[in-house]
């Protein structure tokens, strides 16, 4: 794995930098989420990145015994939801400072809610990209009928491009193996039907790349085109690949449908997504995240750290074939 060297933390400890200023309802929901996460996981150490007063508010609400698990990195700059993502390269923004702490080895992972473009920009700026990966992807997990479905990209890269889709398939495979222990993930390409040639130009080109014999590493298998149904329900594929525009719209549409359907055990659609393609563990919660969502994002970051997912994804990608992961020019 490329990236920072750092001393091995105590066994089981996960040191998470939390961006206090990300999201529509920051910092209130982030404060709530941080408190929930601290209470749920005694091996969690938090670095609160944001205004000193907000961090002090969290610390004041913690039981005395928990306070030594929380440190503060004071910074006041924010990337608002309406700001351009490039603002996140500025060191005085909370999201860039949080990813900087990861790059410096002071934490094991970063969690940011809100402007996902800003989080992606800050992460790439601080950490760089995995070799051969032109554009990172955000991976969300949906609870299918028979197991988890990893959907990517849900918003990091909005333009559809065949080689990027193929690279993201490789990232999704590595993620499903590392986080869910799926030895031979089945990969589907999201389209408008399952018959060959359905979809747009980018999909037809990506299907050709993915159908090549050595397109996916190890035991992963490309199962062809899948449809919208297959993401919430699961079944044909463990990993579903699409562009960040379609994936973002689909994930939110599924969330909206669950919210409207109510009643039945509301499947917990992950409101936190893992950023893949960078050498490090970065979790992004969306702009409408609640305190519970932020807490589950922190829990996901801790789990990713403890399972060594980022290292495993990096190793897997570095062994993927040049055919699939060749440089993308647009």
The contact set with a second copy (CB under 8 A) reads 81-82, 84, 145, 155, 158-159, 190-193, 195-197, 199-201, 203, 227-233, 242, 244-246, 248-267, 287
Taking Cα atoms as reference points, which of 48, 253, 256, 282 lies closest to residue 156?
282
Contact predicate 275/120, CB 8 Å: yes
Residue 103 φ then ψ, to 5°: -60, -35
Q: Does residue 27 have a cis bond before it (omega within 30 degrees)?
A: yes
Contact predicate 34/133, CB 8 Å: no
- Any alpha helices (H) in the chain, and if so which ranges? 28-40, 52-61, 94-103, 116-127, 162-180, 201-211, 230-233, 244-261, 291-306, 309-318, 322-325
Percentage helix, strand, coil for the chain under 3-state DSSP, each rounded to 5: 40, 20, 40
3-class SS letters over 308-327: CHHHHHHHHHHCCCHHHHCC
Taking Cα atoms as reference points, which of 139, 138, 120, 142 lies closest to residue 270?
142
């Amino acid at each position: 794995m490329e990236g920072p060297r750092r001393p091995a933390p105590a066994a089981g400890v996960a040191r998470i930098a939390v961006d206090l200023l990300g999201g529509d309802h920051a910092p209130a929901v982030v404060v709530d989420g941080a408190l929930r996460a601290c209470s749920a996981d005694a091996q969690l150490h938090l670095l609160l990145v944001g205004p000193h007063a907000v961090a002090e508010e969290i610390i004041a609400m913690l039981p005395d015994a928990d306070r030594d698990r929380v440190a503060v990195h004071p910074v006041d700059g924010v990337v608002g939801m309406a700001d351009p993502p490039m603002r996140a390269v500025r060191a005085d923004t909370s999201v860039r400072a949080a990813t900087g702490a990861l790059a410096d080895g002071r934490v094991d992972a970063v969690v940011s809610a809100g402007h996902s473009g800003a989080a992606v920009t800050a992460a790439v700026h601080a950490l760089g990209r995995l070799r051969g990966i032109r554009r990172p992807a955000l991976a969300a997990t949906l609870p299918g009928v028979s197991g988890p479905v990893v959907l990517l990209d849900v918003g990091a890269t909005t333009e559809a491009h065949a080689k990027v889709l193929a690279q993201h398939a490789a990232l999704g495979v590595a993620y499903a193996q590392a986080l869910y222990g799926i030895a031979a993930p089945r990969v589907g390409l999201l389209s408008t039907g399952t018959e060959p040639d359905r979809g747009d130009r980018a999909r037809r080109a990506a299907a050709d790349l993915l159908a090549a014999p050595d397109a996916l590493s190890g035991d992963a298998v490309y199962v062809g085109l899948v449809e919208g149904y297959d993401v919430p329900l699961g079944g044909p594929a463990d990993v579903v690949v699409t562009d960040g525009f379609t994936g973002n719209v689909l994930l939110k549409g599924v969330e909206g449908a669950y919210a409207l359907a109510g009643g039945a055990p509301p499947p917990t659609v992950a409101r936190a997504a893992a950023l893949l393609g960078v050498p490090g563990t970065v979790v992004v919660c969306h702009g409408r995240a609640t305190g519970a969502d932020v807490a589950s994002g922190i829990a996901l970051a801790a789990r990713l750290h403890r399972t060594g997912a980022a290292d495993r994804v990096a190793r897997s990608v570095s062994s993927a074939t040049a055919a699939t992961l060749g440089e993308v020019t647009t």
